[in-house]
Structure 1
Amino acid sequence: MNLPPVGLGTMGIDDPETVATALSVGYRHLDTARIYGNESVVGEGLTAWLDKRETPGDAAGADAVSREDVTVATKLWIDDLGADDVGPTARESADLLGVETLDLLYVHRPRGAYAPAETLPELDRLVDERVVRNVGVSNFDPEQLDRAIDVLDAPLAAHQTELHPLFYKPALLDHAREHGYTVVAYSPLAGGRVREIDAVREVAAAHDATPEAVAIAWATAKEPVVTIPKASSERHLRANLAAADLELTADETAAIDAVEREEELFPE
């Protein structure tokens, strides 16, 4: 699956205008989840942006970018993973998001009603029925990833996991490279804590950049990683999007890799 280096994480976003602004400045990957309670907000923002582009005489509609150019992703929460719940819940998510097809649907966590032999065939069914284009998982360990790959008929498109300078697991990136799927890094700014990391601050000073930009650049340089930082203001949205163009040296990357603190923001 071909995802841009920087997408929009929407946890906590409750204003459709934020989503519409993100799209207007160039975002093409929107990530939400059932548990966030804002699928309708994301859908309203997407619809507003599309409607504006289609308004006759509107300069925003001058270039040919359409719904098909935007990846809309959501996640099934642990209560939605029973065989009888996957299909209806996914269809409800699509309705809330205002789309005919979910571009990427994740298992949010391998907990609760999740049972690989029961849950994953229902995701395959949704692909067959064209309700879903791509299947992903989130917060899995390598053994759980292996099991998912074995059970799914559809290729595993993405694994979403927490990844930032204070916490990442190289083994998960190795697994993704071996099996050919994308790693989607959530919380790449460590909840704002990247500003507290000396190694990140030193690299930022060397590039006349912000610590946030360095954290995103560090993550997106790790193939096959893309990021989904959250931002609300247009200034921060633009800054996060541009951060993927920042190139770090091998020594700078190694210095951030060597940070010893491990702080998982969203443990099980």
Structure 2
Amino acid sequence: MTTVPTLTLNNGVAMPQLGFGVYQVPDEEATATVRAALDAGYRSIDTAALYQNEVGTGRALAESRIPREELFVTTKLWNTDQGYDSTLRAFDASLERLGLDQVDLYLIHWPAPKLDRYVDTWRAFERIYSEDRTRAIGVSNFQPAHLARLFEASGIVPAVNQVELHPRLQQLAVREFDASNGIATEAWGPLGQGKGGLLEDPTLTQLAAKHGRTPAQIVLRWHIQLGNVVIPKSSTPSRMRENIDVFDFRLDADDMDSIAGMETGARGGPDPDVLS
């Protein structure tokens, strides 16, 4: 079974660098899907209240009999639950659905700047963290300006910033800001969400042929070498095994430069400055 390396977050918690995302997996399918991912060697599972599959995900974790300390569970707060008291209630509800006493990472799903509640929300996150109900707290889809505002209001720097990140949207400014402030950057949609023919791009298919790998493995290896945390999603067990099998080869400097040249700035998901 593949051993996934870990990154040490800014509070000393070790997080697997490659995990499994369950976005758009229906709750009734989540148990079987997550069980297959665990069987393939994944130990980090990323869900969210919005996904409406925390129950099925939690059932798979419980049924796996894998010791809790070997698992890394992430969930996220949805925008409509932002605010101090509502965040505390939403977190309780997520824990109950997951069947857990503690998660490993809790994220604000979007900054939702028009709501203007993420600072109060972060104060609730600090309380949850101080009560040891989550091992780490972070954010998702935050831009440097959103993070800077949190820094002004808080003594706790987010451990993770999860953003859309793939070869066509490389988020250099966000990654540099995160790195300079000790925040791990985590990539959602790391394979481009199957949009725009990313995995058929000649740059990737040529690199795949060079290394005897698939284009998806090339992209995931690129993420790993950049230092990103990455959470590919698949409902196909063979693809799950393929996606985790990226630790026994290395892209050279020319390969990395070739992928760097794929940047277009095109988002597949919403603009964090707009979505509320």
Shorter-chain TM-score above 0.5: yes
Query: What do residues 54-78 of structure 1 show as CA deviations (whole Å, max 9, x unaligned)?
Result: xxxxxxxxxxx51112111111111
1:84 matched to 2:85: yes
Q: CA deviation at 1:152?
A: 3.1
Q: CA deviation at 1:267?
A: 1.8
Q: 1:200 aligns with which of 201, 204, 216?
A: 204
Match of 2:21 in 1: 9
1:214 matched to 2:218: yes
Query: Could you say what the CA RMSD is over the residues aligned between the two structures, in angstroms?
Result: 1.5
Unaligned runs of 5+ residues in structure 2 are 1-8, 272-276
Query: What do residues 102-154 of structure 1 show as CA deviations (whole Å, max 9, x unaligned)?
Result: 21111111116442431111111111222222111011111111222333333
Using the size of structure 2 for normalisation, the TM-score is 0.87
SS in 2 for 1:246: coil
Unaligned runs of 5+ residues in structure 1 are 51-64
Matches for 1:121-200 after TM superposition, within 5 Å = 121-192=123-194, 193-200=197-204
The structure-2 alpha-carbon separation of the partners of 1:230 and 1:174, relative to structure 1 and needing over 3 Å to count, comes to same
Letter in 2 for 1:194: L
The structure-2 alpha-carbon separation of the partners of 1:231 and 1:78, relative to structure 1 and needing over 3 Å to count, comes to same
1:241 matched to 2:244: yes
Letter in 1 for 2:22: T
1:98 matched to 2:99: yes
Match of 1:20 in 2: 35
2:169/2:263 contact within 8 Å kept: no
Q: 1:49 aligns with which of 48, 51, 64?
A: 64
Letter in 2 for 1:210: T
SS in 2 for 1:3: strand
Q: CA deviation at 1:246?
A: 3.1
Q: 1:252 aligns with which of 255, 264, 269?
A: 255
SS in 2 for 1:30: strand
Query: What do residues 187-220 of structure 1 show as CA deviations (whole Å, max 9, x unaligned)?
Result: 1111223322111111111011100000101111
Match of 2:268 in 1: 265
Letter in 2 for 1:221: Q
1:82/1:113 contact within 8 Å kept: no
In 2, the alpha carbon distance for the partners of 1:92 and 1:67 equals: 20
The structure-2 alpha-carbon separation of the partners of 1:188 and 1:168, relative to structure 1 and needing over 3 Å to count, comes to same
Match of 2:6 in 1: none
Q: CA deviation at 1:161?
A: 0.3
Letter in 1 for 2:134: V
Q: State percent identity of aligned pairs.
A: 32
In 2, the alpha carbon distance for the partners of 1:117 and 1:213 equals: 38
In 2, the alpha carbon distance for the partners of 1:31 and 1:98 equals: 15
Letter in 2 for 1:142: P
- Residues matched between the structures, number: 253
In 1, the alpha carbon distance for the partners of 2:249 and 2:117 equals: 41
In 2, the alpha carbon distance for the partners of 1:149 and 1:29 equals: 27
In 1, the alpha carbon distance for the partners of 2:108 and 2:247 equals: 27
1:71 matched to 2:72: yes
In 1, the alpha carbon distance for the partners of 2:180 and 2:100 equals: 32
Using the size of structure 1 for normalisation, the TM-score is 0.90
